[in-house]
A = this chain, B = another copy of it.
Amino acid sequence: MMAVSPDPVAATCPLPLAETERVLLGHGSGGQLMAELLAELGPRMGAPTVEDAALVTTGTPQVVMSTDAFVVTPRFFPGGDIGSLAVHGTVNDLAMRGAAPLALSVAFIVEESLPLDELRRVTSSIARAARACGVPVVTGDTKVVGRGAADGLYVTTTGIGVSLPGAEPSATRGRPGDVVLLSGPIGLHGVTILGTREGLGFDSELVSDCRPLHRLVAAMIAAAGPAVHVLRDPTRGGLASALNELAAASAVGVVVEEDAVPVPAQVAAACDLLGLDPLHVANEGCLVAFVAPDRAEEVLAVMRGLDEGAQATRIGTVVAGHPGRVVMRTLVGSTRVVDMLVGEQLPRIC
Contact = CB atoms under 8 A, between A and B. Distances in A.
A109 B109 contact: yes
Interface of A: 21-29, 34, 37-38, 40-42, 44-48, 51-54, 56, 58-61, 63, 65-71, 102-103, 105-117, 119-120, 123-124, 126-127, 130-131, 136-146, 148-151, 154, 156, 158, 160, 162, 344, 347-348
Given A137-B45, A144-B23, A63 B109 contact: no
19 contacts: A22-B114, A23-B115, A24-B144, A29-B144, A40-B120, A44-B124, A45-B127, A45-B137, A45-B140, A46-B130, A58-B162, A63-B63, A65-B103, A66-B105, A67-B141, A69-B141, A107-B156, A141-B156, A150-B154
Contact of A25 (B48, B51, B65, B144): B144
Contact of A71 (B26, B102, B145): B145
Nearest to A105: B67
Contacts of A162: 58
A37 B140 CA distance: 13
A92 B52 CA distance: 25
Contacts of A103: 54, 56, 65
Q: How many copies does the complex hold?
A: 2
A145 B37 CA distance: 15
Contacts of A67: 105-107, 139-141, 156, 158
B24 A120 contact: no
Of the candidates A41, A106, A347, the one having the most CB atoms from chain B within 10 angstroms of its own CB is A41
B107 A38 contact: no
Contact of A120 (B41, B115, B148, B348): B41
B119 A23 contact: yes
A224 to B, nearest CB: 25
Given A41-B119, A44-B124, A156-B158, 8 more contacts: A23-B115, A23-B116, A63-B160, A67-B139, A68-B107, A70-B143, A109-B154, A148-B151
Of the candidates A23, A29, A61, the one having the most CB atoms from chain B within 10 angstroms of its own CB is A23
B139 A53 contact: yes
Given A137-B45, A142-B34, A69 B347 contact: no
